[in-house]
A = this chain, B = another copy of it.
Amino acid sequence: MSMDRLLEKIAEKQNPTVAGLDPKLSYIPDYIREESYRKYGKTLEGAADALIAFNKGLIDGLCDVVPAVKPQAAYYEMYGWQGVKALAETIAYAKSKGMYVITDGKRNDIGATMQAYAAAHLGGTDVDGETIEAFGADALTVNGYLGTDGIEPLLTVCAGKDKGIFVLVKTSNPSSGEFQDQMLHAMYEPLYRAMGNMCQHWGKELPGKYGYSGVGAVVGATYPKQLKELRKALPDTIFLVPGYGAQGGAAADVALGFDENGLGAIVNSSRGIMCAWQKEGCAPEDFAAAACREAVRMRDEIMGCVGKIALPR
């Protein structure tokens, strides 16, 4: 159940990071894009073909070092169903290389509709008696604004399939406080804290053997004070931490999301890894190796603050 598989991969690699796969075309080397356009033209098919080639290269370059990838659904949807097909292929390829896959979809709805999202992204779809995996990620990010009705259908699927969710709690963006920081009158705590408390509550249905349930939380590195507060308040809730690097979160900030065993958080980097070849100024053909070099640098920087990762017995 739960996040156990993710924690095991993190401990095995001694690397609590996840590579975001948000493949803008401008991140992809010219030679890949040109090859795809030669085959399919400057079309959605062409763009999707380039996405896949780039992602496969990145996954090949990262899979020995990084335990997980996080494809962001928006960057695939923008290329239509062809892009969404590239998402499915990316997920399958990452899994075939032993990586844990978190689809960043921030999905939310209620009842039967949320069941449909759960089936789509984590479970299996029933086609008149045949069960088929549509996307088959290991975890999905979700938005809890609709309350328990929007989370319960996911818990059922996660329990049956050994999968997990990450609920938006305190997001990394500048305006996240507009609603999330609002103090609630009845509880005299901010909305993000109430959402976090619900993650603890929902997680009771998906206990994990290392202390972390199948219900994680998204908590931005750009708010270290809240990250520290929430780490203490939500002992069963693993954090997916965006905002490291480009958005301003430092290694010392993200370290506040970890517990004394070096567990409890997984830190995302997207652009930093995908665009390492541009930043380095290396040959475009070297993009995957550059991504790996940046992933190693990030791992070492964060592990320098976290210390050793040890699964509790």
Binding site for B on A (CB under 8 A): 22, 24-25, 33, 37, 42-44, 46-47, 72, 74-75, 77-85, 87-88, 106-114, 116-117, 119-121, 125-130, 132, 134-135, 143-150, 168, 171-180, 182-188, 191, 194-195, 198
Q: Is the CB of B144 within 8 A of A179?
A: yes
Top-10 shortest CB links A-B = A147-B175, A147-B178, A81-B85, A74-B116, A80-B134, A183-B185, A77-B120, A78-B120, A149-B173, A110-B173
Residues of B within 8 A of A43 (CB): 127, 130, 132
- Min CB gap A96→B, angstroms: 17
Can you pick out 30 interface pairs between chain A and chain B where the beta carbons lie within 8 Å of each other?
A25-B126, A37-B128, A43-B132, A74-B107, A75-B116, A77-B116, A77-B120, A77-B121, A78-B119, A78-B134, A80-B120, A81-B82, A81-B87, A106-B143, A108-B108, A108-B143, A108-B168, A143-B143, A144-B145, A144-B179, A146-B171, A146-B176, A147-B180, A148-B178, A179-B195, A182-B186, A182-B187, A183-B184, A183-B186, A191-B191
How distant is A126 from chain B, measured CB to nearest CB, in Å?
8
Residues of B with C-beta under 8 A to A33 = 128
Q: Which residues does chain B contribute within 8 Å of A176, judged by CB atoms?
A: 146-147, 149
